[in-house]
Structure 1
Amino acid sequence: MNISKCLTIDLESRELVDHKMALRHSLTLAELEVLKCLVNHIGEVVSKEALNEAGWPNRVVAPSSLTQCMSCLRRKLGAHDDIELKNIPRYGYSLCVTETYESIKSMQEPLSDDSNDSAVDNHFSRYWRWLGVVLFVVLLAGLHFSGKLKQTVNYLALFAKPGVVSILDAETELGGQKVQLSQLRLEDQPEIQRSAAHYIGNWSNTDKIFGNEVLKRIFANDNNRYESVALCNQYEGECKDTQPLNLVRERNTYSPLDLQWLSDTKLRMEQVTYNKILLDKFDNPPQGLVEDIYRADVYYYGASKNVVRADVRLSLVYQSPARGTLVMAACITDDLLRHVSMRYQFSGEFKMQKKTVDGQLVKSFLLDTGNVSFTSPDEISEESATIYRELRKSVLSNETQILRQVYQDANSGVWMLPLWGDTMVWAHRVEVTL
């Protein structure tokens, strides 16, 4: 089996034959089958699932098995600069050979003695290469002058960002009541399953807040810096809780949390709503479009008796099933200063992608942020400084954002929003026809 003019696969001896270096590299059975699959689809992207099935048919193996196989193949292909085994983030791999199609075809067909035909072939080969270069330059120029080049580059950058790879469900108890815990993990997070006690073991007075016997459901995430929990107190196939509880704390900080005290503090802080998204932000969208509006309060807590509140609004207008316009705004207050210390807002056009992870539909909204505003605080507490640093970093460095929705019903949705890193937020949902 031919890979290039200087590299072939000897199927009988199960070896990779390097004619340029006069070397032969033995292949394991998995390496042979994976490489054959890639060679049969040169220049195409082959999914991880297809490669796993080729290398380990009818077997369940760890994700690291394919990663290790690719690492070994790269070492054996390393002497050939014209061959590259590319990793396509979140999807699979592609074997790219920079030789022309004609040079590969010449290895598979009898050689012709007609040198004139060879000269003609070379001429046309050069012609098509130059034509491809010209068309590529014209395409870039068109994107640049239309203002779409930057947007296209931003979207490509977003595709490389880590996605949700697992949503692990477990059952536990909270205040003597049943709880369904769904723990999310992204590609760049360690493969460690936390226990339910890791997230809620430091809570006290839970029976006073969660007194009903209805199932509670929790979505949780550890993003390597902060741990966040989004909890619906009444879950019956959908969230019946009008005010789900969203909590954030710094990783490895296990200070006790009195939920009765937090409930009283929330009640006092939420008497004032600072946040509002105006519909005219969307520049008079055409009649008949649907707007999804999400509202939530997210609380950061630490060792002190001062909590930070993020009053969050999220608004989406779909212009097609997978595209539209999005605005997110967050007003930040804390119980110590008791006034708006920060306001963060961004908006832009999104492209939505769907993926099923462990039976749960995940929607990723890839956003090219056209407008960003951030109001710095006049005064700041030690606790609110944590989110100030996160938002400031996001404002300075990100021309793009990715927002993920991991659950939705008629009246609510669970999101990963860019607040304290990727923060789990269970938000109340309203649908408006414009």
Structure 2
Amino acid sequence: MLKVTPYLELDSEAKHLIDHTSGKTIGLTFSESAILTYLLSTPDVICGKEVLLEQGWPDRVVAATSLTQCISTLRKKLEPYPEVQLKTIARRGYQVHVSARPDTKVSQVKDSDSIETARWHVSLVVKVAGVLMLLLVIGIGWFNSDHYSVIEETSQWHADKHIPLNIGGTLASARLIYPDGVNELQSDMWQKHIAPETNLVDGVDKFNAFALTDGSHYSFAACPYGEQGTCPGEHLINITAIDLKPASLNMSQFIPLTDKMESRIRYNRILIPNNQVYEPDPLADDDVTPQLIEHNYHGDVYFPVANELLVRADLSISLVFEGDSTGKFYSSTCITDEDCLTTPIKYKVRGQFKLYQQTINDMSVDVFKVIVSQKDLIKPDTVSSSAMHFYREIRKHNIRDEELYYYRIYKDDKTAVWIVPLMGSIVAWTKYERVEL
């Protein structure tokens, strides 16, 4: 028997909880009993999802949704006992915390005669207990709310540094975004992948840029200024390094190569099925409200690796608002290499989003929390050695991720900059298009 509280015990062999105040038992499945036993044996310790999957389904391979459903069912069975808190720790795992309970409940178990002696202060105890219980419920609700998870997720990021960045012979300052615990923030972690002797590009006189690292990837997104000193949405440059070895990217060749690669067929132009197109009545007024508005963001991200083919990710994000801050989310990524040796690796995500306004240091950001409802990873017929890393990484995230966070850290009338959860986190400058359907 494992004592959970003074009146609640877990019988892991019989696989049930015993409530000694009412004498009733609460049945548990094997997985529920094993996971709860493990969490209670390490109270207040954050247990990773992989460890809990091994505990609940030993010698079996199951989807991460099995653990999510098991935790959800356990919470329902533990609802009568609010002092037993089964917490979700975003991106890390789960944790059990057992708080104190008013001692009138304990006295009922230990000695029923003591209730008479304690009756004079029961009213006060009940009131205090009621207030504490209300605060506990509010606290549990807050710590398990989407808003709290967004705050916790956003708080890991920082944007308090700038690094110098030389693109095409022009030097500018890029705002650096990085998470907790990452120490490699020197500018050469980004600059060393561009060969200095070939870093010459005509027409890039000024540019605005953001740099980002998640500890594994080093990416930057840049937009050459237009005539009015704003981003016109042309010749956007998105480069992500996946290897610490310098890629020796030849920028004078890179720009025309990207023009060639981007002139190929785009797979991600419009994501939403065009089955709701409004056909106007020729006799009606021209001013017709569209049935559907898609906010589409599109960008091309390049991944240079030394002595490998240049890999391109054709990235698209689409939002369809159903309220002020909620709606449908669509994302699609198509990966190819410069010689078309890799047949497209296509990865699609669909779900519901909720939008939150947050800040990273003094930078205002829009956080889109996406609850994933569907993911499709289309296995290519051929994958070059240059692109195999991407297929493996995307496949790993395709199996694991159930909720995703997309950060829009900059926007204007024509463009937006996103932190995208692709193989970790990368930054991409995208073109914006409003599509009326």
Q: Identify which of 285, 292, 296 aligns with 1:293.
A: 296
Gap change, CA 1:417 and 1:254, over 3 Å in 2: same
- TM-score by structure 1 length? 0.63
Gap change, CA 1:368 and 1:281, over 3 Å in 2: farther
- The answer on 1:253 being equivalent to 2:250 is no
Code of the aligned partner of 2:403: T
3-state SS of 1:393 partner: helix
- State the partner residue of 2:178: 185
- TM-score by structure 2 length? 0.62
- The answer on 1:323 being equivalent to 2:347 is no
Gap change, CA 1:283 and 1:360, over 3 Å in 2: farther
3-state SS of 2:421 partner: strand
- The answer on 1:397 being equivalent to 2:400 is yes
Gap change, CA 1:351 and 1:206, over 3 Å in 2: farther
Structure 1: distance between partners of 2:89 and 2:151: 9
* 8 Å contact from structure 1 (residues 154, 399) kept in 2: no
Structure 2: distance between partners of 1:229 and 1:131: 47
* 8 Å contact from structure 2 (residues 271, 318) kept in 1: no
3-state SS of 1:343 partner: strand
* 8 Å contact from structure 2 (residues 297, 317) kept in 1: yes
Structure 1: distance between partners of 2:435 and 2:354: 20
User: Which one is further off, 275-284 or 398-407?
Assistant: 275-284
3-state SS of 1:306 partner: coil
- State the partner residue of 2:6: none
* Structure 1: tracts of 5 or more residues without a match: 1-81, 104-112, 141-151
3-state SS of 1:253 partner: coil
Structure 1: distance between partners of 2:261 and 2:248: 21
* 8 Å contact from structure 1 (residues 255, 302) kept in 2: yes
Deviation string 1:29-78 (CA, Å, 9 cap, x unpaired) is xxxxxxxxxxxxxxxxxxxxxxxxxxxxxxxxxxxxxxxxxxxxxxxxxx
Map 1:41-190 onto structure 2 (within 5 A).
98-100=100-102, 116-121=119-124, 160-161=152-153, 163-187=156-180, 189-190=181-182
3-state SS of 1:395 partner: helix
- State the partner residue of 2:208: 217
- The answer on 1:375 being equivalent to 2:368 is no
Structure 2: distance between partners of 1:118 and 1:282: 68
Q: Identify which of 261, 267, 289 aligns with 1:269.
A: 261
Structure 2: distance between partners of 1:282 and 1:180: 45
Structure 1: distance between partners of 2:252 and 2:299: 19
- State the partner residue of 1:203: 194
3-state SS of 1:279 partner: coil
Structure 2: distance between partners of 1:131 and 1:218: 48
Structure 1: distance between partners of 2:88 and 2:314: 40
3-state SS of 2:182 partner: coil
* 8 Å contact from structure 1 (residues 243, 428) kept in 2: no
Code of the aligned partner of 1:329: S
- The answer on 1:303 being equivalent to 2:294 is no
Structure 2: distance between partners of 1:160 and 1:284: 40
Gap change, CA 1:237 and 1:102, over 3 Å in 2: farther
Gap change, CA 1:340 and 1:117, over 3 Å in 2: same
- State the partner residue of 1:408: 411
- The answer on 1:424 being equivalent to 2:424 is no
Code of the aligned partner of 1:346: V
How far did 1:246 drift? 0.9
Structure 2: distance between partners of 1:155 and 1:370: 20
Q: What's the % identity of the aligned pairs?
A: 22
- State the partner residue of 2:20: none
How far did 1:433 drift? 4.4
Code of the aligned partner of 1:255: A
Structure 1: distance between partners of 2:302 and 2:235: 13
Q: Identify which of 270, 273, 276 aligns with 1:280.
A: 273
3-state SS of 1:346 partner: strand
- The answer on 1:387 being equivalent to 2:390 is yes
Gap change, CA 1:283 and 1:404, over 3 Å in 2: farther
How far did 1:384 drift? 0.5
Code of the aligned partner of 1:262: F
How far did 1:128 drift? 9.3
* 8 Å contact from structure 2 (residues 178, 212) kept in 1: yes
Aligned residues: 322
Q: Identify which of 193, 210, 225 aligns with 1:234.
A: 225
Deviation string 1:329-353 (CA, Å, 9 cap, x unpaired) is 0111112444533100001111112
3-state SS of 1:228 partner: strand
Code of the aligned partner of 1:184: I
Deviation string 1:374-394 (CA, Å, 9 cap, x unpaired) is 101221111111111111011
Deviation string 1:128-185 (CA, Å, 9 cap, x unpaired) is 999999x99xxx9xxxxxxxxxxx8888766654642224234554444241211101
Structure 1: distance between partners of 2:318 and 2:168: 34
3-state SS of 1:243 partner: coil
* 8 Å contact from structure 1 (residues 222, 251) kept in 2: no
User: Which one is further off, 226-235 or 376-385?
Assistant: 226-235
- State the partner residue of 2:335: 332
Structure 2: distance between partners of 1:412 and 1:99: 54
3-state SS of 1:386 partner: helix
* Structure 2: tracts of 5 or more residues without a match: 1-82, 92-96, 106-115, 279-288
* 8 Å contact from structure 1 (residues 102, 125) kept in 2: no
